[in-house]
Amino acid sequence: MGYWSEAVLHVLLPRACAHCREDLRFRSEEPLCAACAAALPSAPDPACARCGGALGVRRGFCAACSGRLFACRLIRAAVSYRGPAASLVRAFKFRGLPCAARAAGRVMVADFARRAELAGFDALVPVPLHPRRERERGYNQALLLARELGAATGLPVKELLERRRAAAPSWRLGRAARRAELSGAFAPRAGAGAQGLGLLLVDDVCASATTLEECALALRRAGARDVAGYAFARAGRFI
Ligand SMILES: [Zn+2]
Ligand SMILES: [Zn+2]
């Protein structure tokens, strides 16, 4: 579209911030206004040393993580799932705005650089969507996040997993039911080369961490040496 037709369209139909609905600057590529982007809530702190979920005042492990081993060794997130971060997620998950996923990916890039514990992985693996869900939405938001991170860090993005069953909405299920529902939902793609690799799973929101654990189990079965997870936003157990 030419500059003038774009300018006219901007006056007639200004794009609004995905959180506060304030009009955005002309030609802004960002889905959030500057004030909302600056107000993205940081990841939980203090947080569980394994899953990154919010803890009370002390440090250490949450009740679900202490004394247990997980296929997904470590989980971190860039922000907490509330306020403008939740609006950004809704924009790419339910309103079909892939530019919101790319913006979330850029937030992850800035956060990733500060997290020494996420250094040293060989590749990024997006959590797959069921093919039907991906057709409906037109994209896999986790892949868009992984691509932003990959472009900035030089890490290759490997789509090593496939989702065999579509998920029921997680908020309808308790923890055990969700675990059972997701068990076996993810599998390595045919010919997926995971042997001996340290892999960082990438997802949009981490709530119960069940999805990341199921993906990590599939990658370990395919020979991965180490698996961790990195999400855009950390939520409480259920959203
Ligand atoms: Zn705003
Ligand atoms: Zn934990």
Kindly give the distance from the C-alpha atom of residue 195 to the centroid of ligand 2, in angstroms, as a whole number.
27
d(CA 78, CA 80): 7
Kindly give the distance from the C-alpha atom of residue 54 to the centroid of ligand 1, in angstroms, as a whole number.
26
Kindly give the distance from the C-alpha atom of residue 109 to the centroid of ligand 1, in angstroms, as a whole number.
21
Kindly give the distance from the C-alpha atom of residue 10 to the centroid of ligand 1, in angstroms, as a whole number.
17
Q: Is the pLDDT of residue 168 over 70?
A: no
Sequence-ordered alpha helix ranges (H) in the chain: 3-12, 34-38, 83-93, 98-112, 131-137, 141-153, 175-182, 210-221
Kindly give the distance from the C-alpha atom of residue 37 to the centroid of ligand 1, in angstroms, as a whole number.
7
Q: What is the pLDDT of residue 239?
A: 45
* Ligand closest to CA 72: 2
Kindly give the distance from the C-alpha atom of residue 36 to the centroid of ligand 1, in angstroms, as a whole number.
4
Angle between helices 98-112 and 141-153 (to 10 degrees): 40
Q: What is the pTM of this model?
A: 0.90
Count of CB atoms situated within 10 Å of the CB of 5: 9
Q: What is the pLDDT of residue 172?
A: 56
Kindly give the distance from the C-alpha atom of residue 87 to the centroid of ligand 2, in angstroms, as a whole number.
25
Q: What is the pLDDT of residue 211?
A: 94
Q: What is the pLDDT of residue 129?
A: 94
Closest by Cα among 93, 90, 88, 67 to 78: 88
Q: Is the pLDDT of residue 119 over 90?
A: yes
Q: How distant, in Å, are the alpha carbons of 66, 87, 105, 116 from that of 92? A: 34, 9, 11, 28
Kindly give the distance from the C-alpha atom of residue 170 to the centroid of ligand 1, in angstroms, as a whole number.
28
**pLDDT tens, residue by residue, 143-166:** 999 999 999 999 999 999 999 876
Sign of the CA dihedral running 173, 174, 180, 185 = positive
Q: What would the mean pLDDT of 94-108 be, rounded to a whole number?
A: 94
Q: Is the pLDDT of residue 190 over 90?
A: no
Q: Is the pLDDT of residue 237 over 90?
A: no
pLDDT averaged over every residue in the chain: 89
**pLDDT tens, residue by residue, 211-234:** 999 999 999 999 999 999 999 999
d(CA 152, CA 161): 22
Closest by Cα among 158, 170, 160, 155 to 205: 170
**pLDDT tens, residue by residue, 9-20:** 555 556 899 999
- Reduced 3-state DSSP string for 150-205: HHHHCCCECCCEEECCCCCCHHHCCHHHHHHHHCCCEEECCCCCCCCCEEEEEEEE
The pLDDT-based confidence of 174 (bands split at 50, 70, 90) is low
Count of CB atoms situated within 10 Å of the CB of 45: 10
d(CA 162, CA 132): 12
